Amino acid sequence: MDRFDAMRVFTRIVERRSFTLAAEDLRLPKATVTHALKQLEARLGVRLIQRTTRHVSPTLDGEAYYQRCLRLLADVEEAESAFKDAKPKGLLRVDVHGTLARHFVIPALPEFFERYPDVELHMSEGDRLVDPVRDGIDCVLRVGELRDSSMIARQVTLLEEITCASPAYLARYGTPRTLEQLGEHRAVNFVSSATNKPFPFEFLVGGSVKLKTLRGALSVNGAEAYIGAAIAGLGLIQVPRYHVAEALAQGRLRPVLIKFPPPRTPVSLLYPHNRQLSPRVRVFVDWVAEQFAKP
């Protein structure tokens, strides 16, 4: 194993905090990963990794060497990608917002693989802000306002949101025409996984966002349950329009308060600084941005 391959092994051990997970990511036997690290430590004459039965972490020397390895490996990858015939290849790990990916990304993946046949994609589905370095993720697709993050973020679209309810609900409670009339209505409340509290409803009024908290007999924390409850007549909901397009077309849901729409929701791609020069990450980010730019 040459020095650059040994550096790649070492950086993956540090990022995954595990010899086993590093070996799985790199598709190498665990014994090969262990041997590569031993050779690297012997060559440098320092211990790079502190190992216990339950914990793997870099030493002070290991952390300093890790940062240098990142810069060197990024330079090598950038240099190799500068040649016209150099095509992205290898395993790309992405974590996605499931509903969004199923609607916008997955249907177009045959085109991506036709364009980049040497890239293999591993797609996990979550709705939490993962630690991409620790979890071995190259790129993350997320919906909503971003919390403070050390990752690079690229906004790819703004999703149109609507307020809607079922015909049965509107027949029972009436159709609200103003925000003041919402006091007579009920909501299916969507609970935040971060605060464990329901999100307030949001409405744009004269360029400002007005928040409204509505009464409701049901609270949920899943998108499918949220929409299903609205179709069942249990209250008003606010969702991205694409998510309920079929229900709207079939008449199972109807938009309300269209003069006071919710603000649009950003969709972003995030990736660590040490991945920004990776050809695999770069082409995937650009390709996903293309999909959201389509009508």
Are the beta carbons of 109 and 233 closer than 8 angstroms?
no
Percentage, residues of the chain above pLDDT 70: 92
Q: pLDDT tens across 15-73, in order?
A: 888 898 889 888 899 999 999 999 999 999 999 999 877 788 899 998 889 888 887 88
Higher pLDDT, 221 or 254: 254
Higher pLDDT, 145 or 135: 145
Are the beta carbons of 189 and 219 closer than 8 angstroms?
yes
Architecture of domain 161-263: 3-Layer(aba) Sandwich (3.40)
Classified by CATH at the fold level, domain 3-81 comes out as: Arc Repressor Mutant, subunit A (1.10.10)
Q: Indicate if the pLDDT at residue 255 is higher than 60.
A: yes
Task: Specify the pLDDT at position 15.
Answer: 83
Are the beta carbons of 172 and 259 closer than 8 angstroms?
no
Res. 274 pLDDT band, cuts 50 70 90? low
Question: Which residues of the chain form CATH 1.10.10.10?
Answer: 3-81
For the segment 140-147, the average pLDDT, to the nearest whole number, is: 84
Alpha-carbon span 198 to 188, nearest angstrom: 9
Q: pLDDT tens across 61-117, in order?
A: 988 898 888 878 877 776 766 565 567 888 888 988 888 899 899 999 999 999 999
Task: Specify the pLDDT at position 239.
Answer: 95
Task: Specify the pLDDT at position 147.
Answer: 72
Question: Which residues of the chain form CATH 3.40.190.10?
Answer: 90-159+266-293, 161-263
Classified by CATH at the fold level, domain 90-159+266-293 comes out as: D-Maltodextrin-Binding Protein; domain 2 (3.40.190)
Instruction: Tell me if residue 65 falls in helix, strand or coil.
Output: helix
| Range ranked top by mean pLDDT from 12-21, 160-169, 221-230 | 160-169
Alpha-carbon span 284 to 122, nearest angstrom: 12
